[in-house]
Amino acid sequence: MGDGAVGKSSLRRKFMGKTFDTTYIMTIGADFAVKYMRIGDVNVKFVIWDLAGQPHFRAVRTTFYRGARGGLLLYDITRRDTFEHVPAWMEEFVKHTKGEGMAVVLVGNKVDLREKGLEQVSWADGLAMAEELQKKHGIPVSFVETSAITGENVDKAFTILAEEILKKIKAQPFI
């Protein structure tokens, strides 16, 4: 989840083993992918809903939050406004998932553009935001910076999410 053009679809495609596509095509509603990974001694099935970030898709997005165990919340490190919208995205996610048993990874994407001097959001800003969101909502919020172009930390973002969700599941009492 996150604003339009922050790299959600590109990140998902890179995680699925596809190459970066330089052509921006807006996601209409949602796109879907499935990937299996082994995290420690557990086989994990990622069911990934790539949600459209434009405001006019808000009503459509709420349906896709139901049943979610966690999410990646992306912003673009070269666009400060996308970072400033992060709290609203978190509110939307928590509201429609009820926040129970959730985990979130805050993802500062497009770090490959940092060396070009385009950074508007620092690593420290991202970390502080993750800590603030975790404190406010009482759910684990990890932080990582990624590049969908180079692949930097893409698998790591999904792995962190899976590990946090697995911790929550293992901590739940069996009835």
- Is the per-residue pLDDT at 164 higher than 70? yes
The alpha helices in 6-77, defined as continuous H runs, are 8-15, 58-65
pLDDT digits (tens, 9 = 90+) for 72-83: 999 999 999 999
- Given this model, what pLDDT does residue 55 score? 58
DSSP string, 127-142: HHHHHHHHHHH-S-EE
Q: How far is CA 142 from the centre of its chain?
A: 10
Point out which residues pair with 34 in neighbouring strands. 47
Task: Give helix then strand counts, H and E, for the chain.
Answer: 6, 5
- Ordered structural domains, the chain, with CATH: 8-171 (3.40.50.300)
pTM of structure: 0.90
Q: Which of 95, 85, 87, 74 is nearest to 132 (CA)?
A: 87
Select, from the ranges 16-25, 45-54, 88-97, 117-126, the one with the highest average predicted confidence (pLDDT).
117-126
Residues 147, 13: contact at Cβ < 8 Å?
Answer: no
Residues 157, 105: contact at Cβ < 8 Å?
Answer: yes
Looking at 6-10, 56-60, 64-68, 125-129, which range is the least confident one?
56-60
In the block, which residue shows the tokens 């792995």?
159
Pick 67 or 27 by higher pLDDT. 67
Between the alpha carbon of residue 131 and those of residues 73, 83, 136, 142, the distances in Å are 14, 14, 9, 8
33 band by pLDDT with thresholds 50, 70 and 90: confident
Which are the contacts of 13, defined by CB distance < 8 A and separation ≥ 6?
Answer: 19, 20, 21, 148
